[in-house]
Structure 1
């Protein structure tokens, strides 16, 4: 058993001050599979185009795991920290789902009305740095003619996408 532990320590450079190219390569492979396993425990949403809540985890997760590969942080504790962050994300997401809407809005944000009954909501657009051209682009992307007066409601969604509901003629 001790021999197996010594072999793993040698391959991953666990106690080495300076990693060789092949130790860093083995770490990269190990971190890849560990990250994949950790992500399977978490949510499929984490790396989709979602809320700031999801994006923040993605950035921190990548940063932490890169430290495990390069040896800037201890290997096993770094993987444990990555798992802790994913579990925290999962816990907060479950709380947002099961508690009142306010908690979900607090950690995930909420949609903002940009157009109501064909009228641009300039204050909301200014607050969210959305231009009239952004709304016209969303109209075109949804297959509608670029006519703001045809919009019943347009929302800036939590993901940053603009969704549009046009009036039915």
Structure 2
């Protein structure tokens, strides 16, 4: 293990410039590997689980690079988290209750031109937020909407009349 300390620097203390560069190089490729293992959806329409994993992976990589956390154990723990994320994502395909827990459920905001105010409060959406979502989907007015839904990723989808 002495060669690891020579290459990556001490777990406690400050690595030298060359060791920081070696850490940065390895962590760059390690971060790319984590993103590939976690899958593309981790950084598209983010679910709460996706957001959590993205934040923790970024934090772990940062702490490992700066020497604020032990290098190899940080990589192992981060790898475990990414693999666990992938396994949970695969399990949600086969389990509706797990998918609802992890990803949430879509909520109807507008049906046949009538706004559901309780659904808007539930998602902390103002009338301006709703109108913005409708405009982004090319719907000019609430009366033109057959169905508007807050999808699991937080985006408002619209079916026009």
Alignment TM-score > 0.5, same fold = yes
- Equivalent residues in 2 for 1:119-130 (5 A)? 119-130=114-125
| Structure 1 residues 12-53: Cα deviation after superposition (integer angstroms, max 9, x where no partner) | 114562212332222111111112123222211112232112
- For 2:77, which of 75, 81, 104 is the aligned residue? 81
- For 1:25, which of 21, 37, 46 is the aligned residue? 21
- For 1:131, which of 126, 129, 142 is the aligned residue? 126
Q: Secondary structure at the match of 1:46?
A: helix
Structure 1 residues 142 and 41: CA distance shift in structure 2, 3 A: same
Q: Which residue is 2:55 aligned to? A: 59
Unpaired runs of 5+ in structure 1? Answer: none
Q: Does 1:116 align with 2:115?
A: no
Unpaired runs of 5+ in structure 2? Answer: none
Structure 1 residues 158 and 128: CA distance shift in structure 2, 3 A: same
CA distance in 2, matches of 1:15, 1:120: 56
Q: Which residue is 2:100 aligned to? A: 105
- Equivalent residues in 2 for 1:42-57 (5 A)? 42-57=38-53
How far residue 63 of structure 1 moved from its aligned partner, in angstroms, is 0.8
CA distance in 2, matches of 1:15, 1:50: 33
Q: Which residue is 2:156 aligned to? A: 162
How far residue 62 of structure 1 moved from its aligned partner, in angstroms, is 0.7
Query: Structure 2-normalised TM-score?
Result: 0.92
Q: Secondary structure at the match of 2:148?
A: strand
Structure 1 residues 155 and 15: CA distance shift in structure 2, 3 A: closer
RMSD: 1.7
| Structure 1 residues 81-134: Cα deviation after superposition (integer angstroms, max 9, x where no partner) | 1111111111111111012x2210111111111111111100010111111111
* Count of aligned pairs: 161
